[in-house]
Amino acid sequence: MLHASARTLKLLSTLGGCAALAVGAACIEKSAAQSSAPDQLRVGAAVNPTSASPIYGVTIPAGYRDWKLISVNHLITDKVNQLRAQLGNDIAIKAFKEGRLPFPDGAIIVALHWNYASSEDNNKVLVSAFPGAQSFVAGSAVNMQIMVKDSKRYPATGGWGFADFRDGKAGDRALHETCFPCHEPARAHDFVFAHYAPTP
């Protein structure tokens, strides 16, 4: 009886392992079907994992806040006053450092945008050492934008897929229809505006 139970447990354990492998294989197959880029990281949205950009199907990459800094900038128009930072996955960072164009498939760039805000706390600390100094910091979050290089999946848009998220939710189709036309002026730099910031 004990021998039979042991065989039954072993069989159930094997079947359970096979089921887990089948589920894992199905997830990998689904992910591969979404993109041919090995470092795509298309699953694991920071806020809403089911939200994907219309047209391109790009989602928020898992762990993107741990990626390396490409650059920062300050954008002022008649409607916005923002601080912006661009982060890149390992493939993107390597391409920036090497000056490689076009960017290789698998490169992902995430742009984070915040409202430009004065920091009273910093000003109080700085006033004794730097009289009259004014400090500005990243204030409330505005949105995040993502570029994913996959030349097979996105041939009509220079090999790039785009996404624009606010509070973890992708913008509508009309918004995403403006992404590639907006990047066309940067065609000579493979449609990427960001340039690698020098090391201080």
Residues 159 and 103 occupy one common structural domain: yes
Q: How confident is the model at residue 23 (pLDDT cuts 50, 70, 90)?
A: very low
pTM, 2 dp: 0.75
Tokens found for residue 112 = 């984070």
Residues 68 and 95 occupy one common structural domain: yes
Residues 57 and 154 occupy one common structural domain: yes
In-domain check, residue 78: yes
In angstroms, the CA 83 to CA 74 distance is 5
Residues 23 and 60 occupy one common structural domain: no
Per the structure, the complete domain to which residue 158 belongs is given by: 36-189
Residues 29 and 41 occupy one common structural domain: no
Residues 79 and 169 occupy one common structural domain: yes
Q: Per-residue pLDDT tens for 82-129?
A: 999 999 999 999 999 999 999 999 999 999 999 999 999 999 999 999
> Going by C-beta distance under 8 Å and a sequence separation of 6 or more, which residues neighbour residue 55?
162, 173, 176, 177
Residues 83 and 152 occupy one common structural domain: yes
In-domain check, residue 95: yes
For 111, other C-beta atoms within 10 Å of its C-beta total 19
